[in-house]
Amino acid sequence: MAGARRSSIRNFKRAAFGWKPLAVTLLAVLCAAAAGCSLLVSPPSPAPPLVSAPAETSHARELAAALVERGRELTSMQTAAVMEYREANQHVKAREQILVRRPANLRVEALSPFGLALVVAANDSHLEIFEPSSDTLYKGDASAESLNRFAQIPLAPKPAVNLLMGLAPDNGEFVRQPDSVSAEGGLLIAAYKGADGSVIELGFEGAQLAMVRERRQGVIHYEVRYSDYRDIGGFQFAHRIEADFPRARTHVNFSFQHPIINGILADSLFALKPGPATKQVDLGQAGVSSAVAGLHG
């Protein structure tokens, strides 16, 4: 009995590990929720030096306001991408198809040399993972907790969509004057304090968003960098995204290939429909590990 349970746990871990690159992609993902118990304790990170000039504060507010306006004009994005993920003992590189539609819909298809390997779809609060090789559909809540459970990275669909599209995590927060303005490595940093004590920092290089960073209790929770801006239909759009989670010691980057913005994406793209013989597994069930073990064992 104990041997069977250990075997089930091993198989479940292998199955969850197989989903990891795709769940990492949802990160865009980079939308932090409460840190999981797997995260390591880090010392406080020093904040950039403050800039007190009223002109710099006014300029930072104008840049943030332009970012909010940009969010009103961008509705969707679809692209082929190369995703690369690193942690202490793992390096994954994969080709993917990414579709996002604001406010909180996303779909990621991971490709292998033999075709479609995995599909992850999030429709606001609902998460579905389809594994073609076993014709199995896993369903659950698209919460930071559930995504952290399978990817060990805390994120949620709505801020993930914004960050993949080069927008601020929550547009409503950045219409006001920043709480502080600073300079860091050629970037103008506008910082906004949240009601929960966290701080979101927007870094601008010229007129473009170059960085989004969140601090909690002085510690960097995540940091996203944007680069390789190119013109798409009058929009300057970042084709490279790099994200760091210092406490989890993980790094992910995306290279977008020929993204299309503001295309019409049907609702059906974000809701996976099982076939007549498709196995369905509820990720919230207590016995999910046994079910997955049976499908992979």
pLDDT of residue 193: 92
Q: Domain 2-296 sits in which CATH superfamily?
A: Lipoprotein localisation LolA/LolB/LppX (2.50.20.10)
Helix H or strand E segment including 145: helix 144-151
Preceding peptide of 103 cis, ω within 30°: yes
Pick from 252, 18, 48: nearest CA to 150: 18
Q: With bands split at pLDDT 50, 70 and 90, how would you rate the model's confidence at 188?
A: very high
Per-residue pLDDT tens over the stretch 7-60: 443 443 444 444 445 444 443 343 333 333 333 445 566 766 666 578 889 999
**pTM for this prediction:** 0.79
Per-residue pLDDT tens over the stretch 254-288: 999 999 999 999 999 999 999 999 999 988 764 44
pLDDT of residue 34: 31
Asked if 111 and 96 touch (Cβ cutoff 8 Å), the reply is yes
Per-residue pLDDT tens over the stretch 192-227: 998 888 999 999 999 999 999 999 888 998 899 999
Q: With bands split at pLDDT 50, 70 and 90, how would you rate the model's confidence at 70?
A: very high
For residue 43 the two structure tokens come to 């010392």
**What type of residue sits at position 91?**
H
Q: With bands split at pLDDT 50, 70 and 90, how would you rate the model's confidence at 92?
A: confident
